[in-house]
Amino acid sequence: MNPSSEPPRPAPAGPAEVATTGAAPAAAAVGSAEDAVAEAADQLEADAAPGGDGAAAGGAGALQPLPDVPGELLSGYLDAALAELRATPAPELPGALRQYRTWTPRRLKHPRVIGLVKRSLATDAGFRAAVDRRVLDQEEALARLVRAGRHADALASGEPPEAVVRVGVALGREGRAAVNAAADAAAANQARAEAAKAESALAEAESELQAAKARRESEATTARAARVQARAARDELRRAERQVQGLTERVRGLEQELDRQRLALEAARAEAAAEQRRLGGRIAELQARLTDAQRQYRQLRRTSSRIDPVVAEAVGTLERDLHALRRATGMTGLDLPAPLRAERRPERREPLPVPAGRNADDPETLAAWMASAGVLILVDGYNVTKHERGFPSRSLEDQRTLLLDLCRRLARRWGAEITVVFDGADVEAVPTRVGVGAVGVVFTDAGRIADDEIVARVNAEPAERPVVVVTSDNELRERTAALGASVARSTALLGLSSR
Q: Render pLDDT for 71-121 as a digit per residue (tens, 0 to 9).
A: 788 888 888 888 888 888 888 888 888 888 889 888 888 888 888 888 888
**19, pLDDT greater than 60:** no
The DSSP bridge pattern shows strands 467-470 and 433-436 to be unpaired
User: Kind and range of the H or E element at 468?
Assistant: strand 467-470
- pLDDT tens figures, 477-498: 999 999 999 999 999 999 998 7
C-beta of residue 40 within 8 angstroms of C-beta of residue 97: yes
C-beta of residue 3 within 8 angstroms of C-beta of residue 125: yes
Going by pLDDT thresholds of 50, 70 and 90, the confidence category of residue 324 is low
- Determine the Cα angle at 363 with ends 456 and 386, to 5°: 60
Residue 117 C-alpha from the chain's centroid: 70
Going by pLDDT thresholds of 50, 70 and 90, the confidence category of residue 174 is confident
Residue 114 C-alpha from the chain's centroid: 65
CA 478 – CA 462 distance, rounded (Å): 19
Average pLDDT value for the chain: 76
**What letter would DSSP give residue 313?**
H
- pLDDT tens figures, 396-448: 999 999 999 999 999 999 999 999 999 975 665 444 444 445 799 999 988 89
pLDDT of residue 126: 86
**Domains of the chain by range and CATH?**
15-191 (no CATH), 363-495 (3.40.50)
User: Kind and range of the H or E element at 421?
Assistant: strand 417-422
CA 87 – CA 104 distance, rounded (Å): 12
Going by pLDDT thresholds of 50, 70 and 90, the confidence category of residue 293 is low
C-beta of residue 71 within 8 angstroms of C-beta of residue 17: yes
Residues 6 or more apart whose Cβ sits within 8 Å of residue 77: 66, 131, 135, 165, 166, 169, 170
Question: In DSSP terms, which residues pair with 418 in a beta bridge?
Answer: 377, 439
Least Cα distance to 460 among 329, 317, 335, 354 occurs for 329
User: Kind and range of the H or E element at 60?
Assistant: none
**What letter would DSSP give residue 497?**
T
Give the predicted TM-score (pTM) of the model. Answer: 0.35
